[in-house]
Amino acid sequence: MHDQLIDVPGGRLHLIDEGDPADPPIVLIHAGIADLRAWDDFAPLLVAGGYRVARYDMRGHGRSVTDDIEFSNRADVLAVLDHLGARQAALVGNSSGGQIAIDTAIEFPDRVVAIVGVGAGLGGFEGELTAAEEAMFERMEVLESSDPPDAVAIADMDVRIWVDGPGQPDDRLSARIREAVRGMDEPLYASGTVSGQPIRLAPAAADRLDELRCPVLAVAGALDVSEVAQTARHLEAHGPNATAVIWPDVAHMIGMEVPERLAAAIIEFLEPLPRWS
C-alpha cells in the first residue's frame, strides 16, 4: 500500500494506491459524507481480483486540502490518473462520487473504460421523494443553515438517512459502520473546514447520456432514498450501454454494507473488457 499526496491547482489530494502497478487500474471515488476510509474493507477485494486500486480523498475530505477556489472534480480525477501513470481507468463512485465518475467519462471519454455507480447521483436528474424523505431533507436544510452548523446533529441525520436508510431501524447495521461514517462526516462541518467551489459539468450529464462511450453498471439499494434507484433505472433506460442492479437489502453505503458482494459484481462486470493500463 502506497500512501501519497498529489499537488493539484490550489490544493493537495491524499491518495492510497494498492496492488500491482501492471494490473488494470480502478479509481474509487467516495461519497460526500465520507472519505477514502469508506473503501477500507472493499478495496483489498478488488486488488485480490487482479486490479490496481487507487482511492483518494476529495478536496476538503479526510487528509485532502484545498484553497477556497473554484475547481473541477473531473480534473482532479485526471490528476490522479496522471499521477498513477494510467492512460485509462475504470471509475467506481459512491453517491456524489458516482456523479463525478459519470461527469468525468462524459468530459474525458478517452480516459474512462467503465463506470460503476454505487448509489450514484446524476447531474441534472431529479427523482421523486416520498413525503417522509422530503421531511428528512427539510430538517437537514434547517440544520445546515444554522450558524454555526451543529456538526453532531448533521452527522446524526446523515447516518439516519444514508447509512440506516430512510425509515430503517438504527440497528439494521453494525455500530462499527455507523460510527465509521459519523467519524468521517462530522469533521466536514467543523469550523474552518474549506471544501472549495466545485465547477459543475455544463450541460449536465442527464442531458448528455448519449455521450457516454463506456459501459455503466448502476448499483442501488431498495432501502436507500427513493431517488437513488430511480437514478439507476434512468441510466439504464437512457444510457447507451448501462445496466441497473437494485439490491433489496441495502441502502446507500453499499461498499461498507456488503463489500464482498459489490466487489464480486464489479469484477464480473469488468471481466469481459479488454485489459487497460
Q: Are residues 20 and 147 in the same domain?
A: no
Q: Are residues 54 and 138 in the same domain?
A: no
Q: Is residue 275 part of a domain?
A: no
Q: Are residues 30 and 158 in the same domain?
A: no
Q: Are residues 16 and 117 in the same domain?
A: yes
The percent of residues in the chain predicted with pLDDT above 70, rounded, is: 100
Q: Are residues 59 and 83 in the same domain?
A: yes
Q: Is residue 276 part of a domain?
A: no
Report the distance separating Cα 232 and Cα 248, nearest Å. Answer: 14
Q: Are residues 201 and 99 in the same domain?
A: yes
Give the helix ranges, DSSP H, for 85-130.
96-107
Report the distance separating Cα 35 and Cα 62, nearest Å. Answer: 5
The pLDDT tens digits of the residues spanning 30-76 come to 999 999 999 999 999 999 999 999 999 999 999 999 999 999 999 99
Report the distance separating Cα 130 and Cα 227, nearest Å. Answer: 9
Q: Is residue 227 part of a domain?
A: yes
Q: Are residues 37 and 113 in the same domain?
A: yes
pTM above 0.95, yes or no: yes
Q: Are 98 and 119 in contact (CB under 8 A)?
A: yes
Report the distance separating Cα 21 and Cα 206, nearest Å. Answer: 34
The pLDDT tens digits of the residues spanning 191-231 come to 888 999 999 999 999 999 999 999 999 999 999 999 999 99
Q: How far apart are the first and last CA of the chain?
A: 19
User: How many domains does the chain fold into?
Assistant: 2
Q: Are 254 and 163 in contact (CB under 8 A)?
A: no
In one-letter notation, the amino acid at residue 132 is A
Q: Kindly report the CATH number assigned to the domain that includes residue 56.
A: 3.40.50.1820
